[in-house]
Structure 1
Amino acid sequence: MTHATSSTPKRGGPLGAFRHRGYSIFWVGALISSTGTWLGSLTVPYVLYQHTGSAIWVGLAAAAQFGPAFVLAPLGGFLADNHDRRLLLLWTQTGLGVIALWMWLQWASGWHDPLILIGAVTLFGVLNGINNPAWQSLVNDLVPREDLMSAVTFNSLQFNIARAVGPAIAGLLLASLGAEWAFFFNAVSFAVVVVALLFVRQYRPRAVGPSAGRFLGQWRDALRYMARSRAIMLAIGLCCLVGIFGNPIFTLTVVFAKDVFNTGPIGLGLLTAGLGAGAVLYAVAGTLFARRKQEFGRQVALVMVALGVALIVLSVMPTLALGIIAAVGVGAAFLAAFATLNTVIQLRAPDPLRGRVLAARHMVFSASIAFGVLLGGILTELCGVQLATILFGGALLVVAAAIRMLPGRGFPLLDSDDRPDLPPAESDSLN
């Protein structure tokens, strides 16, 4: 038995996702939570670099946050497919809030041990590995299929609005009140999303019954499905490369701010906010001017080149003002690549396997981020942050050219609707 029809869904309009109350509540709560998370995400590398003066410590903190997702994402995907995703998120978001509260208490008490802070970040990464598949899957549960593209884009938009606003707030807090207040507001923000989840109701309630098979059996079925879908495999692979070569810039901004632009926490906040502002500009423009026919392959080809060029341009900017302008381009290209690839995966993944497919994407992407930031830290120590960024930008150009040159098997695959038949057990769950 095959899954639901494979025809391309009709568009529900650029703001279609907000026609649904559950999604609107979830989006507002997520925006506040993500803003708080960016306070913490910028504060951690800032205080580590201030106390140690080493980019490697900054890389270790990012690896500690994203590395555990490689191990825990399979469990998160399994839980997201076999349990109520909203309730699962209530538990994980509460746990993440407790960890954020601990980081605030540690720093406010004067206990400024980098190892302890990285330990807390590691625990945060462990819970986030379980949280993320359910988070991404719940977006699909809150809207009908015709509004999925709108929901995915605006889910990325809220994250990037937070990426623009959060660092700017963090810069002001770090310059005026100190790091402990940035940690404090991060902890408070998790309470907001927990309250929001209490009021969220799904558009299509999922019938969650006994698990169709054990953990390993379900993952074997999901991996077989993904292996037969060349579009999903290519999209996940490209997510990995974007994570390795594109994502480190979000961590290396602390090095750019201090060593290249000779600025303090406010300048750092503005530079990082530039990355988020670019993402917001892309999300708004991309949503309002989207064409009915989604040419995913062509879009990815263009934005991979744009991201590579933007990174190279940022690396040679002589002043903070020009660096912020270049960062806007980097942020726009990064979101364009990530949102397009994520939409491909969401549209190709059937609901019974959605949590596991998104967990696989999150696992690979998180591992690539951990590897990329460590590589970025090492290259920065060896040859400087500017040359390291040029190398990353050049690598993205090479990747885009190499895949584009593959006859009939490159980016055009992203436009195909190659969704294989589901395994029998998963097909039965659709009835």
Structure 2
Amino acid sequence: MSIRRLSSHPSFRAFSHPAYVKVWWGGLISTLGTWMELVALGIYVTETTGRAEWMGRITALAFLPSIVLVPLAGTLADRFDRRAYLAVCTLGQALIAGALAALAAMGQLTLTPLAILCVLHGCMSALTLPVFSAMTAVILPPEQLHSGLSLDLAQANLGRIFGPALAAIVLTRGGVAWAFLINTISFVAVLVALAWMGPVSRGSARPGEGLWSGVKRGLLAAREDVGIAAALGGTLGVAALISPFIALVPVLALRVLHGDAATASLLTTVQGVGAVTAAVLAGTLAERWGRGPLLERTLLLLGPVAAAYWLSPTVAFAGVSLFILGALYLLAVGGLRTLCQGRASAELQVRVSGLFNLVLNLGYSGGVWLQGALGDRLGLRAVTACAALLFFALALGVRVLLPGRLASLEARLPPPSA
């Protein structure tokens, strides 16, 4: 099916914009490499330490820099040409990935340099991701924003589908060094896409505005808009209580279900398939039910499905529940991100995108570390299932106490085009 025909479907309308298509494909290639590296890291750390807490620590180190740097990313990006800014950050990511590959190839990779490189990688990601997300809002008209942001998440999950499968092959035949090297090379695709996509609007920093003044302006805008504030609160809950399942897949596969690297790769792939399936259906579901009601229903289902996954008695049951969980997670994060971006003014979209990523990363890193640490002491199933049920209780409480609140907030966004 051609891109032109595909873009006529509600979920794929963003593909009607050539600049978006170029960035999307470049990002997909890079994402494949990233997921190869993530699987390799998860298996390396789990096999080296045998503890879920260490996987939580490494994940937290990768995301903790976002606490400081993500709020600055939007303000920094407003001071430079955004393509050049992203190119420099992408080059930095490639250099860090190359250092990881070199250490592994020389047999010098230990937990200490691994942790340092994860912190550096987290710094570059924190400076990059908000600008990429906001570029989607810049490239696309408002009525196609939901399509674009859903496709962005689908891109990440296509990497989740094929990246682990490639990782399993590479790890079997070449080891972790080759997985890290391929990830290093994959960043070239992003640089090529940025070169080919054409001009992008420059930032909108006010004359004489300092970095912290710019950050404060973004924070005030988020606090004063009830929709953005609600979306950020929902994102924190999802990130802290549900998202840790992403990093802890290898732990469940190896320690609880007594599988191997292939089992971990399979489960990671299944989650990606569920997410991509949801991305294909997201536009149709949003037009049928409305973006607000779709988000409400998704948040209510997330907790029970996540609990079912953590309590899975077999690999097959885990795979089915993880497929559904992957789909719901994409709809939830995509809906919350759309609510944030759709309500932000054009001037502050990068900064609001940064705040969204900050909340998501902070909740995720803290949730992974805490659930991993408690899981080592109290049992992984018990801790993670309880976290999922706590999220369900919170979502149900909001639904009962504030019926229709998300639907009314979402209604202020531009409706999808016919």
Aligned-residue offset at 1:261: 1.8
Deviates more, 1:69-78 or 1:193-202: 193-202
Q: Which amino acid aligns with 1:307?
A: L
> Aligned partners of 2:381, 2:237: CA distance in 1, in Å?
20
In 1, Cα distance between the equivalents of 2:354 and 2:119? 18
Amino acid in the other structure paired with 1:333: L
CA RMSD of aligned residues (A): 2.0
Residues 208-357 of structure 1: pairs in structure 2 closer than 5 A:
211=207, 213-291=209-287, 294-296=290-292, 298-357=293-352
Asked whether the 8 Å contact 1:56–1:377 carries over to 2, the reply is yes
- 1:97-136 to structure 2, matched below 5 A, reads 97-136=94-133
Q: After superposition, what is the alpha-carbon deviation per residue over 1:274-329, rounded to whole angstroms, capped at 9, x for unaligned?
A: 11111011111223444166341x22221122221111111222221221111101
Q: How does 1:356-375 map to 2 (within 5 A)?
A: 356-375=351-370
Deviation at 1:18, TM superposition (A): 1.2
Answer whether contact 2:286 2:294 (CA < 8 A) is retained: no
Residues 1:288 and 1:417: Cα distance change in structure 2 (over 3 Å): closer
**2:137 touches 2:349 (CA, 8 Å); kept in 1?**
no
Matched, 1:378 2:340: no
Name the residue aligned to 1:198: 195
Counterpart CA distance in 2 for 1:302 and 1:112 is: 45
Question: CA deviation digits over 1:380-407, x for unaligned, max 9?
Answer: 1012221122112101111101211223
TM-score, normalised on structure 1? 0.90
Using a 3 Å threshold, how does the CA distance of structure 1 residues 222 and 210 change in structure 2: closer, same or farther?
closer
Given that 1:40 and 1:183 are in contact with CA atoms closer than 8 Å, whether structure 2 keeps it comes out as yes
Secondary structure of 1:405's counterpart equals helix
Correspondence for 2:89: 92
- Give me the whole-angstrom Cα distance separating, in 2, the residues matched to 1:112 and 1:217: 41
Contact kept? 1:308, 1:393, Cα under 8 Å: yes
2:230 and 2:82 map into 1 onto residues whose CA distance is 27
Which of 304-313 and 99-108 deviates more?
Answer: 304-313
How many residue pairs were aligned? 407
Which of residues 55, 75, 83 is equivalent to 2:72?
75
Contact 1:86/1:138 (CA < 8 Å) preserved in 2? no
Letter matched to residue 148 of structure 2: A
Q: Give me the whole-angstrom Cα distance separating, in 2, the residues matched to 1:172 and 1:242.
A: 32
Alignment-derived partner of residue 52 in structure 1: 49
Equivalent residue of 2:401, what SS? coil
Secondary structure at 1:110 match in 2: coil
Asked whether 1:23 is paired with 2:20, we answer: yes
Using the TM superposition, give the Cα deviation of residue 172 of structure 1 relative to its aligned residue in structure 2, in angstroms: 2.6
Q: Is contact 1:175-1:265 (8 Å) kept? A: no
Structure 1 residues 210 and 232: CA distance shift in structure 2, 3 A:
closer
Q: How high is the TM-score relative to the length of structure 2?
A: 0.92
Deviations 1:25-67 (A, max 9, x none): 1000001111111111221121011111111111111001111
Contact residue 205 and residue 214 of structure 2 kept, 8 A: no
The answer to whether the Cα contact below 8 Å between 2:70 and 2:358 also exists between their aligned partners in 1 is yes
Q: Could you tell me whether the CA contact under 8 Å between 1:58 and 1:377 is conserved in 2?
A: yes
2:351 corresponds to 1:395: no
Structure 1 unaligned spans of 5+:
1-10, 420-431
Partner of 1:14, secondary structure, is: helix
What is the percentage of aligned positions where both structures have the same residue? 28
SS in 2 for 1:201: coil
Alpha-carbon distance change, 13 to 212 in structure 1, aligned in 2, over 3 angstroms = farther
Q: Are 1:171 and 1:267, in contact at CA under 8 Å, matched by a contact in 2?
A: no
- Aligned equivalents of 1:207, 1:174: Cα separation in 2: 42
Distance 1:412 1:19 in 2: 28
CA distance in 2, matches of 1:13, 1:335: 17
Map of 1:7 onto structure 2: none
| 2:176 aligned residue | 179
